[in-house]
Amino acid sequence: MGRCCCRCCCPRGLWMLSAPYYDDRRMCVCPGPRRIGIPVRSSSLPLFSDAMPAPTQLFFPLIRNCELSRIYGTACYCHHKHLCCSSPYVPQSRLRYTPHPAYATFCRPKENWWQYTQGRRYASTPQKFYLTPPQVNSILKANEYSFKVPEFDGKNVSSVLGFDSNQLPANAPIEDRRSAATCLQTRGMLLGVFDGHAGCACSQAVSERLFYYIAVSLLPHETLLEIENAVESGRALLPILQWHKHPNDYFSKEASKLYFNSLRTYWQELIDLNTGESADIDVKEALINAFKRLDNDISLEAQVGDPNSFLNYLVLRVAFSGATACVAHVDGVDLHVANTGDSRAMLGVQEEDGSWSAVTLSNDHNAQNERELERLKLEHPKNEAKSVVKQDRLLGLLMPFRAFGDVKFKWSIDLQKRVIESGPDQLNDNEYTKFIPPNYYTPPYLTAEPEVIYHRLRPQDKFLVLATDGLWETMHRQDVVRIVGEYLTGMHRQQPIAVGGYKVTLGQMHGLLTERRAKMSSVFEDQNAATHLIRHAVGNNEFGTVDHERLSKMLSLPEELARMYRDDITIIVVQFNSHVVGAYQNQE
């Protein structure tokens, strides 16, 4: 269903691929696991594997190359990658630009050991390879981050207790991004997950910039003036955001000036537009404006270009790649979720009987959403009704129906050609960027405008899960909420066993209890709700319990295989302070 065929037919056991099945996949011209599927013309494209960013140390800190190669050799179908993903078409591009300094931690040159000419290789004798539990933990915890809202005078007056976040890469480098920040000039906290496609440039840019646009949109007129005056007179600026970042969450220094100028233009316009009356700022409107404005700026920056060749190339990569965004703004009991694309926000609600239920606070913008299909059809002439969404993808290519960047779906053909021709060589040589989507008649086909859902927090709303589709495609929302809920309440909500009137033997009870304890012990391994959720998402067996063997296999996949079995997963779990929320309620 909109997912790559590899996933749907993925057997549970990793080592059981059979030859016919393998053949099927190779011939498959259906879209691959990536968001953008390019129709395959030839399967014998050269594989510039050495141009691919390598798995990070974070991934496989403990696996030796030879071990990897063994796994790889056992179940290789890496050539499948070019069927579905864009990178083989831009083999040099990734190499030719100087990697961003921060990339250094992510990328290292890949050894050639696994480079091989594609050919038919069949799964040979299954080989067992297991990571030890501490190895598994070090992989799972590499990117975890927790933030607790500081208490003042022993009391936390914020409606947010804190948040846990984590991400597990499947792509190399990971294309997901996450952001969290506290608004300093207004109240409230911003949290967001960003799922990039066709590279990570766009998601990176959005993760750095979007919250500033939102914060600025929320600022009252006087504050904007004050900031502008400070810039003008060279005084110290008021800080707008307090970021809560994991060391791996980097910001690009080179583009900082460029980004600032765009932002400044935005607030200058806001100042000019202001009529003087200090009307209450509508959060919903602010969010929509910020999203649209940022996308607009991304587009403009790419059209204008930059004299600095590195920056010029960067803005183009940002514009030609894409990203979805799911952002939550929490201020007291007011929760706004702005969503563009197919990441999701899920509210964990604890019922009176202690059980957990999930309330969805975002709509996926993809082919599964009737209203989105409807919208697309209305926005384009009737004769395009059949071509605008094909095989559940926008123009048969793109899975999310809304996204940042992706100017290939926004610009006119003329504009695209002009920019590419005047752009740097890397862009010119890139087959993907040059490729114009089929049936491209009435652009734009894509928008970054978010759908904003407002929710007034109640004491029973205990937490919010923001996650990219990597999580939602492996786990049902109900399970997600239950697992997080049980984790946060320390598991004592686990339904107690009562013998009641049933006939239970000591042996049966013992088996049941041992199983429950195994389940519980996985909770105690994690200090982070997001990590715990990833552990379940990756390691859950048929019974909904974490199976270490499975977890170990999934995590020891070489990067090329990883993408076949899972997507990047990024999760933020925001915990609400029921006491504060309750107090708000009582005030009114």
Partner 1 sequence: MFYRLLSVVQRQRTSQGWQNWSPARSGASTAEAHSVALPAQTQVVICGGGIMGTSVAYHLSKMGWKDIVLLEQGRLAAGSTRFCAGILSTARHLTIEQKMADYSNKLYHQLEQETGIHTGYIRTGSIFLAQNQDRLISLKRVNSRLNVIGIPSEIISLKRVAELHPLLNVHDLVGAMHVPEDAVVSSADVALALASAASQNGVQIYDRTSVVHVMVKKGQVTGVETDKGQIECQYFVNCAGQWAYELGLSNEEPISIPLHACEHFYLLTRPLETPLQSNTPTIVDADGRIYIRNWQGGILSGGFEKTPKPIFTEGKNQLEIQNLQEDWDHFEPLLSSLLRRMPELETLEIMKLVNCPETFTPDMRCIMGESPLVQGYFVLAGMNSAGLSFGGGAGKYLAEWMVHGYPSENVWELDLKRFGALQSSRTFLRHRVMEVMPLLYDLKVPRWDFQTGRQLRTSPLYDRLDAQGARWMEKHGFERPKYFVPPDKDLLALEQSKTFYKPDWFDIVESEVKCCKEAVCVIDMSSFTKFEITSTGDQALEILQYLFSNDLDVPVGHIVHTGMLNEGGGYENDCSIARLNKRSFFMISPTDQQVHCWAWLKKHMPKDSNLLLEDVTWKYTALNLIGPRAVDVLSELSYAPMTSDHFPSLFCKEMSVGYANGIRVMSMTHTGEPGFMLYIPIEYALHVYNEVMSVGQKYGIRNAGYYALRSLRIEKFFAFWGQDLNTLTTPLECGRESRVKLEKGMDFIGRDALLQQKQNGVYKRLTMFILDDHDTDLDLWPWWGEPIYRNGQYVGKTTSSAYSYTMERHVCLGFVHNFSEDTGEEQVVTPDFINRGEYEIDIAGHRFQAKAKLYPVTSLYTHKRRKDDVELSDLHGK
Find how far residue 95's CA is from the centre of its chain. Answer: 24
Q: Which is nearer to partner 1, 233 or 495 (CB)?
A: 495
Neighbouring C-beta atoms of residue 315, cutoff 10 Å: 27
Residue 436 or 497 having the CB closest to partner 1: 497
Residue 8 makes contact with partner 1 by CB under 8 A: no
Minimum distance from CB of 459 to partner 1 (Å)? 23
Q: Does 476 bind partner 1 (CB under 8 A)?
A: no
Distance of CA 306 to the CA centre of its chain: 28
Degrees to nearest 5, angle at CA 579 with 577 and 584: 100
What values do phi and psi take at 172, rounded to 5? -130, 110
Closest CB to partner 1 among residues 104, 498:
498
Work out how close the CB of 490 gets to partner 1 at its nearest, in angstroms, rounded to a whole number. Answer: 13
User: How many CA within 13 A on the CB side of residue 37?
Assistant: 24
Give the integer Cα–Cα distance in Å for 566 and 368: 20
Q: 273 or 498, CB closer to partner 1?
A: 498
Distance CA 448, CA 345 (A): 17
Q: Which stretch binds partner 1 (CB under 8 A): 243-251, 327-335, 499-507, 573-581?
A: 499-507
* Residue 356 CB neighbours (<10 A): 22
Tokens 């796994």 — which residue? 71
Minimum CB–partner distance for residue 505 and partner 1 (Å): 5
Which residue, 304 or 509, is less far from partner 1 as judged by CB? 509
- Extract the tokens encoding 570: 């990024």
Residues 500-519, interacting with partner 1 (CB under 8 A)? 503-507, 509-510, 513-514, 516-517
Q: Residue 278 or 521: which CB sits closer to partner 1?
A: 521
Closest CA to 572 of 463, 496, 474: 463
Residue-wise burial string across 410-446, b where 16 or more C-beta atoms lie within 10 A, e elsewhere:
bbeeeebeebbeebbebbeebebbebebebbeebebb
Question: Which run of H or E residues covers position 179?
Answer: strand 176-183
Q: What is the nearest approach in angstroms of partner 1 to the Cβ of residue 153?
A: 23
DSSP letters spanning 527-558:
SSHHHHHHHHHHHB-TTSSB-HHHHHHHHTS-
Nearest-approach distance from CB 545 to partner 1, in angstroms: 15
Binding of partner 1 by 494 (CB under 8 A): yes
Shortest Å, Cβ 521 to partner 1? 12
CB nearer to partner 1: pick between 62 and 520: 520
Shortest Cβ 485–partner 1 spacing (Å): 17
Please select the residue that binds partner 1; options are 51, 281, 520, 583, rule is CB under 8 A.
520
Residues 164-223 touching partner 1, rule: CB under 8 A, are: none
- 18/20 Cα distance (integer angstroms): 6
Overall residue count recorded for the chain in this entry: 588
- Of residues 453 and 520, the one with the C-beta less far from partner 1: 520
> Within 390-409, which residues bind partner 1 (CB under 8 A)?
none
Shortest gap between Cβ of 517 and partner 1 (angstroms)?
6
Comparing CB distances to partner 1, the nearer of 19 and 512 is 512
Q: According to CB under 8 A, which one of 112, 272, 498, 586 is a site residue for partner 1?
A: 498
Residues that bind partner 1 (CB under 8 A): 494, 496-499, 503-507, 509-510, 513-514, 516-517, 520
